[in-house]
Amino acid sequence: MSGTACVSPSGIGPLQNRQRREARVDSVIPVMVARPGHYSQGTVVKAVTNLLPVRVTLTDDKQAPRQLSVYSIKFTPELPGNLSQQTRIVGQMKAELINRLFMGQRTTPIFTGMTILTVAPTCIQGEPDEAVEFTASVVVGRDPDGCEVRREYTVVIEWKATFPLDPAGIEGLDRRSLVKAKMHNALSLYVDNAVRHAIRGKMRTWAQFRDAFYNVHPGELLQVYKRYSLAKGFSTATVDTEPHGPHVAIGVRHLLLEGRAADILLNIQGRTQGTGQDKQDAVKLALHGRTCVTPITGIKYTIDDVDYLTTPDHTFTDSKGQVVTYRQYFLDRYAQEGVVDYPAGRDYPMLVCIRRGREVRIPPPLAYMTGISKREGQELNQVRQELTNRTRMNAARRVAETQQRVQALIGTNNSPSTQAAIADSGIEFRGEFLQVEGRELSKDLFASRMSVGNLPEDASPSDPVEGHRISSALKFRVDSAPQAVVEIFIVHQQGEKEKKEVDALTTALTTQMNEYGLRHNVTALRDTLRGAVRRGAWPSEWAEYVKYGIHQVRLKRDRHRNNQQPAECFMVVIMPLGVHRDVYGTIKRLMCIEQPILSQCVKSKTVHDRFVREPASSMVRSKLVCQMISKMGGWGWTLPAIADSVSEETDAGVKVRKETMVIGINAGQVRRTQVLTMTASFNQEFTRYLSVVEVLRSEPSAATFMEMEADKLQQHLPDFTRHYAEKNGGKLPERIVIYRDGLPEAEKRILFKLYEDAIKAAIQDFPRRTRLVHPSDVTQTGQSRPSSSPPAFSPCVTLCIVALRGTQGVKFAQVHPDQQVTNPPPHTVFDRGINRQHKFDFYIAHQQVPTGSVSPTYYDVLYNSPLLDAPSGGSNGCVGFNADNFINLTTQLANLYQNWAGPIRMPQPLMYAKKLSDLVSEYLRERPDESLRQNLFYL
C-alpha cells in the first residue's frame, strides 16, 4: 500500500466533556444489563422457533474442542469515523493483515470491527508481550473533488485471548462475567460465519430448500408483474441462548427487482440522443447511486460508476491468485448452477460497485436493479398484491417446510458434497428446532377509554374489546381549546367529479364534527373568488392556491379571536389521482415550513371510493376526523391501565404512579446526510408529543453521526424535561424511557457510551440551564418570577433498542395442545429460553396476523437504572422497571398510535419519530417550523 493524495487530518467533533476514544469499543464487547426477572403475567403460549441447535465440532483427535483466538487491531493515529467507516478501512487491508499474522498460510479469519477471530494458529498466539507491527497507507475517504484521501498509519496486531468454542467450556473458565459475555459473542460470530460457509458450499441443495417457501415453480427469478421480478436469497443469524448454547436461524429473503442492469443500460442508451459520449454520460448519471444485486447470493451493491474501458473479457487476479477474465470467472462460479444466463460474445461495460468500502466490478448481465418505481395508481397496488400472493406463507406450512427441508439439507440423506461442506466448516447441526414458552398479555391492559370535550372522563364509554376502537361512539378531547371553532378550508381541482367529491367530504366532516359536538365551518376553494385549481396545474400553481386558502382561513380565525372566540385553522387538500409527487412535496413544504398550518392531504380516489360511491360509514368518517383532531392536540382514546405500568408498589402495598416521559428517536441516513428525529411525550396519557428535527451532515473534520446524535440528545433533553414540567404542574419526570430504532449489535456498545455521557451531562446541567414556572411563582400582576431554588432532578433512565425484524428473522409459531400450528396471538411476549444471561431483551408479537407468518419485534434494553445519584433532599426513590411493568408499558404504547385503531409493531413514540423522519427525508429536506412542534402534523 503506497502513494498518498489529498491527505486530510483527523477531525475533532463537537463533543464536550468526553473522550472520543471511549466510544470506539471492541465490537465483541456486549452491553451488560441485569435482567429484572421474566414476564410473569398473562396466559402461557407454547411455541416453536426456526432456531436450529448447532455446535462446533471437535478437532481431529476427537478429544478437545476447537480453540478460538481473538486479536485486536490498533491504528496510530486513531482511525476517523464510526465503526462502519473503520470496518471499511480495515477491509482494504485484509490481505495484508492475513499475510502478516498468519505468515502466508491459507486461512480465512473473521473480521469484526477492529477484531480478528480465527481458529488457525498464528505467529503471536499466546504471547501477550508480542505483536505484529507494520506501516500502511489507506484510503479514509474522498474530498469534495472526488480525490482519494489517504493517511499513513502504524498498524499493530495483538493477541488478546484463546478459549474453547463451547458454551459449557466458556462457563467453566475462571473469568469475570463481562469477559465470558465477550467470549459468547465471539462464539456466535464464528458459528454464524461457519453456517454461511456450509450453506454456500452447495448452492443447488440450498436452492431447493429456498424455493419451497414461494408459491411458484422452482427457478431463480420470479416474474411478479410486468417488468418486475423477485430474487430469492437466504439469511442466517446466530442466537446464543441462555441454557441451550448457540442456535442458528435459517430463513429466506427476497428482493424486488426492476430489471436486468444490462437491459436497463441498453434502454437508456437507446432513448438518449447525441454522441456516444452523451449516451455513456446518460447511463452513468442514471445508474450512479442505485442499488443492484447479484443472483444466487443476493448480495447488494451500490453502483458508483460505469467503466466503459473495461469489458468482461479483461483479466484480473482472483482471490486464489489466478489470472482470469471476468467472463470466465462468473461463468465458472455461477453458470454451472444452471440459473444464470450470461450472453457470450458481447462487450458490455463493467459496473463499478462499492460494498463495505471495497470496489467490485460486475458485468451488467449478472446484475439486477432493485426497488420499485415510485408510481401512483393501479400498477403499484398490483405489484404489491402479486408480491403478497407469492411470498406469504402461513405458520403451519412454514414450520412444516422448514423442518422437512432442513433435514434434507443437513441430514444423513444429503449429498456427499453438502456433507463435506458442513464438515469443513467446523460445525455440526443437531437436535430439533428450539421450543420456547411465551405469555399472552391480558386484554384488560388494552381496554380503551374515550372522552368528549371537557366532560369528566368517568362519563365516557369504555371499550375493552380488542380491535377497532374508532366507532360512531368515539369522542375526542382537545386540550388546547375545547370550545374552539375549527375553520376548515378545502383545496381541490376543477371538474364535475371533483365537485361531487368536495360535497361528499364536506357532508362527512360536518356530520362527524356535529356528532362530536365540535363547532366548525367548512369552506371549499370553489366557493371563493379564486375558484378551483385547473387540471394539470404545475406545483407552483398548486402552491399559489394553497397560499390563498391559508390567507382566507387565517382571516376567519382572526375574526373569531377579535370576538374573544378561540379558533383552530385546518387545511384539507384533495390530491388528484396521478398527480406528480412534486406537487405533494411543494404543498407540504409550504404548509410545514413557509406558512406553517395544520393540514391533511387526502387522495381523490379515497374520497371517491369512501364518500361518493357509497354513503360514508361512521368508521370511515371518524378515522379521518380522528387524524385531523389528533393533529390539533386531541386524541381518540387512552388506556387507563397504562398508569399501573408506570407505578411502583410501596412497602405498604400501595401503587404510586411515577411521572414518566417516553422518547422516540429515529436516525435515517441518506449518503452524507442523516435526518435525526425525536418525539417526547408531555401528558399523563402519552398521547401528546413534542418533536425535534435535526439534519446532520457529515464532513471530513466533523464528528460521526452517532456522536452528533448524542450531542443533539444532550441539547434537547432539558427542553423536553422543561416542557413536560410546565404541562404537568411543575412535576419533573421521575422516569425517562428512550426507544431508539434498531442498530447492529456491534454498534450498541458505542451508542450506549455516547448516550450515557450525553444524558448524564444533560441531567447535571438541567437545574442550572432551566427555569421552571410553577403556579406559585406567578405574581398578582400575572408575571412569572424564577423559582427560589433549582429543582432536584435524578430520573431513572431506560434505554431500549427496537428492531422490527427481530434478530435477523427469528420467528415463532404457536403449538396448540392438539399439535395445530398457528401464529401466536397478538400481544404475546417471548423472554424465556431464547435470551442471554447478561441481557434484558425480549420479543413481542404485537399484531394479529391471519395470513402469512408473524415477524416479532425485538427489544434490547441497554440501561435500566438511575444514571446519577439523587441530589441531597431530592431523592425520588425511583428504581428501574421490573420485567412485567416495562413489557406492559411497551405493548400498551404500541396500542396508542392515533393513526391506527389497533396495535402497531413498535411503540407509539418511535413510530411518530419515524413518520416525521420520512416526511422530512422525502419531501421537506429541512426542519419544519417551530410553531408545529407540539402537534402531530406529520400523521
Asked whether residue 543 is domain-assigned, the answer is yes
Asked whether residue 269 is domain-assigned, the answer is yes
- Based on the domain organization, do 223 and 117 belong to the same domain? no
- Based on the domain organization, do 595 and 691 belong to the same domain? no
- Based on the domain organization, do 505 and 360 belong to the same domain? no
Q: With pLDDT > 70 as the criterion, what percentage of the chain qualifies?
A: 72
Asked whether residue 431 is domain-assigned, the answer is no
- Based on the domain organization, do 599 and 696 belong to the same domain? no
- Based on the domain organization, do 628 and 678 belong to the same domain? no
Burial 869-908 (b: 16+ CB within 10 A, else e): ebeeeeebebebbbbbbbbbbbbbbbbbbbbbbbbbbbbb
What's the pTM value of the predicted model, to 2 decimals? 0.81
How confident is the model at residue 470, as a pLDDT? 33
Q: With pLDDT > 90 as the criterion, what percentage of the chain qualifies?
A: 8
- Based on the domain organization, do 553 and 694 belong to the same domain? no
Parallel, antiparallel, or unpaired for β 735-741 and 660-670?
parallel
Task: Supply the range of the domain harboring residue 156.
Answer: 65-164
- Based on the domain organization, do 598 and 699 belong to the same domain? no
The answer to whether residues 759 and 797 touch, using CB atoms and an 8 Å cutoff, is: yes
CATH code: domain of residue 522: 3.40.50.2300
Q: How many CB atoms lie within 10 A of CB 418?
A: 20
- Based on the domain organization, do 811 and 677 belong to the same domain? yes
> Cα–Cα distances in Å, from 169 out to 163, 174, 184, 798?
8, 10, 10, 33
The answer to whether residues 235 and 253 touch, using CB atoms and an 8 Å cutoff, is: yes
**Lowest-confidence range among 294-298, 660-664, 812-816?**
294-298
485-524 per-position pLDDT tens digit: 888 888 888 888 888 888 888 888 888 778 777 788 888 8
User: Where a domain ends, among 392, 413, 439?
Assistant: 392
888-911 per-position pLDDT tens digit: 999 999 999 988 878 899 999 999
- Based on the domain organization, do 618 and 731 belong to the same domain? no
422-462 per-position pLDDT tens digit: 666 667 777 688 888 999 998 888 887 654 333 233 333 33
Gap between the Cα atoms of 288 and 290, Å rounded: 6
How confident is the model at residue 6, as a pLDDT? 30
Asked whether residue 4 is domain-assigned, the answer is no
- Based on the domain organization, do 824 and 876 belong to the same domain? yes
How confident is the model at residue 315, as a pLDDT? 80
Nearest to residue 367, comparing CAs of 301, 453, 455, 432? 301
Asked if pLDDT for residue 692 goes beyond 90, the answer is yes
Asked if pLDDT for residue 250 goes beyond 80, the answer is no
CATH code: domain of residue 756: 3.30.420.10
The answer to whether residues 639 and 657 touch, using CB atoms and an 8 Å cutoff, is: no
The C-alpha cell at 460 is 365516557
Asked whether residue 405 is domain-assigned, the answer is no
391-430 per-position pLDDT tens digit: 777 788 778 777 776 766 666 555 566 566 666 666 777 7
88-107 per-position pLDDT tens digit: 777 777 778 888 887 666 66
Asked whether residue 472 is domain-assigned, the answer is no
- Based on the domain organization, do 103 and 235 belong to the same domain? no
Q: What's the total number of domains in the chain?
A: 4
Q: Indicate the burial class of 8 (C-beta count within 10 angstroms; 0-12, 13-18, 19 or more).
A: middle
User: Where a domain ends, among 363, 392, 421?
Assistant: 392
Parallel, antiparallel, or unpaired for β 735-741 and 840-845?
unpaired
Give me the residues paired with residue 69 across strands: 118, 162
The answer to whether residues 255 and 233 touch, using CB atoms and an 8 Å cutoff, is: yes
Gap between the Cα atoms of 389 and 889, Å rounded: 35
**Selection from 313-322, 333-342, 373-382, 739-748 with the highest mean pLDDT:** 739-748
- Based on the domain organization, do 101 and 236 belong to the same domain? no
CA 512 and chain centroid, separation: 36
